Structure 1
């Protein structure tokens, strides 16, 4: 019985390490093949964060949960995929991984931060509310 305890502890450590190491980052081509034509809902820490629609030509449409949509585009920057959104002055760069949990994104410069995980996948376009709907 006592001999099994070290083995169980090692197995638990290996499982934790596997979750902490998402693997090899996706290339721009791999990311495009996995995302184009899809609308993905992302969550962080189990809470829905936002939704992004991936369009042809590396175009995107993003909305934080309950917010208006932002149009943008993406491009590779080393192992990162960077997003430039209309009206936002800073780039949003992420490293994407294809994991058993789903498409996972880690924000550049925040390796210890909570990753975003695609929790829903739809071929339908992102429904965007405008800022002046009902006015």
Structure 2
């Protein structure tokens, strides 16, 4: 009887939901890093350099770069890039030693994952990093 009570109590225990990173966690994890991202069908999705003061430099990997900033909004990490008025918001999760991000601006469209971290600055045509 006691074993049944233990089994039922374990079954009734809530399953811990995976929580996205907070702004503070994200900042601590990315500042000073350069990270390459991929998707299921595109391992070379792009590269982002995370600078101080929530500044970023994004490159789709073709030598072009765009400056931007990131900020927290409604639990998501959002990015606003120069020349693009629409914020790009993501729910970002720790995954192993890296991260995985689910695009929330247009749900059910894009999931990216960290593929590699670099220790050298981005090389950008016409933009000094």
Decide: shared fold, TM above 0.5: yes
Aligned residue number for residue 34 of structure 2: 39
Is it true that 1:53 corresponds to 2:49 in the alignment? Answer: yes
Give yes or no for contact 1:41–1:118 (8 Å, CA) kept in 2.
Answer: yes
Q: 2:75 aligns with which of 66, 79, 83?
A: 79
Give the TM-score, by structure 1 length: 0.74
Q: Which consecutive unaligned segments of at least 5 residues does structure 1 have?
A: 1-21
Deviation at 1:51, TM superposition (A): 0.3
Give yes or no for contact 1:106–1:116 (8 Å, CA) kept in 2.
Answer: yes
Taking the aligned partners of 1:29 and 1:60, their CA distance within structure 2 comes to: 16
Taking the aligned partners of 1:105 and 1:116, their CA distance within structure 2 comes to: 5
Give yes or no for contact 1:101–1:117 (8 Å, CA) kept in 2.
Answer: no
Which stretches of structure 1, 4 residues or more, deviate above 2 A after TM superposition? 109-114
> How has the CA–CA distance of structure 1 residues 61 and 109 changed in structure 2, closer, same or farther, with 3 Å as cutoff?
closer
Q: Which consecutive unaligned segments of at least 5 residues does structure 2 have?
A: 1-16
Give the TM-score, by structure 2 length: 0.77
